Amino acid sequence: MGQWLSNIVVNEGIHHIYISQGRIADIIPQHQPMPVHANSWDARNLLMLPTLEDYHVHLDKQFPADRWIARRRVDTILDQFHLEKELLAPHKAGMKDRAIQTLDQMLASGTTRARVHVDIDPEIGLRHLETIVQVKELYRGLVDIEIAAFPQQGLLRSSSIALLKQALREGATIVGCVDPAGVDRNIEACLDTVFDMSVDYGAGVDIHLHDQSHLGLYTIERIADYTQQTSKQGKVAVSHAYCLGEIDKGASADIAARLAEQNIMIITSVPIDSAMPRADQLTALGVNIKLGTDHTGLDAWTPFGNPDLLARGRRLAEINRWNDDERLRAVYPYLTSAPLEFQIGAQADFMLVQALNPEHAIAAAPEREIVAVQGKVVAGKQFDRSW
């Protein structure tokens, strides 16, 4: 037997929705009566939105949530790498539990798809990967997880090439690196290795790029070259890419043309402590931009992490002063590939929130009252009173 949800604000009106076999089987206006004796749950005018997709998250870096671990100021990114190793060393045993806690928080915030970067280096080996593969299986049918093999200490710098190849045989589907210039000190050798692995293993590419200004820009130009040479269009992403917000608008427009041509995704966590890509300009020029939370709680990099991707969308709108309805609504494609308008036949993945309309939901980032996957309630403030 299916499930009716009555009085839902969706598709610019109040409707009743019928869910059957994990899909939306019917949508009728509020004034039209539901079938007699229908199994119904009253949504009380909650707003229906699609679930969210987090394109950049780490599940193996969280600190324990029950204690404060002091950080100290560092001067370079290499110092930060060392600090992270030092601060996480006493807490290796609880990593799986912390990953599960984080995923629960993400799910409660409406995230049902996540790209998870997993640290790999000679000291860690594949231990983190093995754990995240287990967690991925636990969340099958709840959160669709793709795994990126990520040499946080540097691909060449930490001599991790063989380990990444093994990771691509054992569950990772994306190969990454970090700062081919600033960390690995050899752009060509780093990118050549990454794209060779991508071709050999049929993997995607996602490169953490913190290098600034024209050094970062040149690295992106070479990433575009390698993407074209290996026919990896649509399979390559650059995460962070602070440099795109540091160069002038003309240079940003020029590289946007290449990014769009090669279908290279730019992923940003919407930082407020550094420059970020000009999302509005790049989007207008055809670049695919997605958001990721990056930091979801307490970790060695920041105490300001938050697993709520909708709140990240609010921050994107706020710092760009997107105050009008058109641009507030335009935030959603950064957060999800699903349309705001629900269609009969679509998979019943959605969240319900207390908001007047989708624009208001971006502005307020309200709590998720219900999160549903294939019509089944999996999280939310009203989980206990749900159908």
Q: What is the pLDDT of residues 231-278, one digit of tens each?
A: 999 999 999 999 999 999 999 999 999 999 999 999 999 999 999 999
Give me the pLDDT at residue 38, please. Answer: 78
* Chain length of the chain: 387
Q: What is the CATH number of the domain that holds 290?
A: 3.20.20.140
Q: What is the pLDDT of residues 60-77, one digit of tens each?
A: 999 999 999 999 999 999
Rg for the chain (alpha carbons), in Å? Answer: 22
Q: What is the CATH number of the domain that holds 343?
A: 2.30.40.10
Contact (CB, 8 A) for 201 and 168: yes
Q: What is the pLDDT of residues 283-335, one digit of tens each?
A: 999 999 999 999 999 999 999 999 999 999 999 999 999 999 999 999 999 99
Q: Across residues 198-217, what is the average pLDDT? A: 98
Q: Is the pLDDT confidence value at 37 over 80?
A: no
The pLDDT mean for the chain works out to 97
Q: 204 has which bridge partners?
A: 174
User: How many beta carbons lie within 10 A of that of residue 62, not counting itself?
Assistant: 23
Is residue 155 domain-shared with residue 229, that is, in the same domain? yes
Residue with tokens 């004796």: 37
Give me the pLDDT at residue 1, please. Answer: 78
Tokens coding 99? 């990953």
Q: Quick one: how far is CA 208 from the chain centroid?
A: 14
Is residue 365 domain-shared with residue 304, that is, in the same domain? no
Is residue 77 domain-shared with residue 181, that is, in the same domain? yes
Residue with tokens 């229906």: 48
Q: Is the pLDDT confidence value at 36 over 90?
A: no
Task: Count Cβ atoms within 10 A of the Cβ of residue 205 and give its class: 0-12 exposed, 13-18 middle, 19 or more buried.
Answer: buried
Q: Quick one: how far is CA 185 from the chain centroid?
A: 28
Tokens coding 90? 């006493």
Q: How many domains does the chain have?
A: 2
Q: What is the pLDDT of residues 73-107, one digit of tens each?
A: 999 999 999 999 999 999 999 999 999 999 999 99
Q: Is the pLDDT confidence value at 121 over 90?
A: yes
Instruction: Write out the residue range of the structural domain in which residue 364 sits.
Output: 3-50+339-385
Contact (CB, 8 A) for 73 and 308: no
Cα distance between residue 387 and residue 383, in whole Å: 8
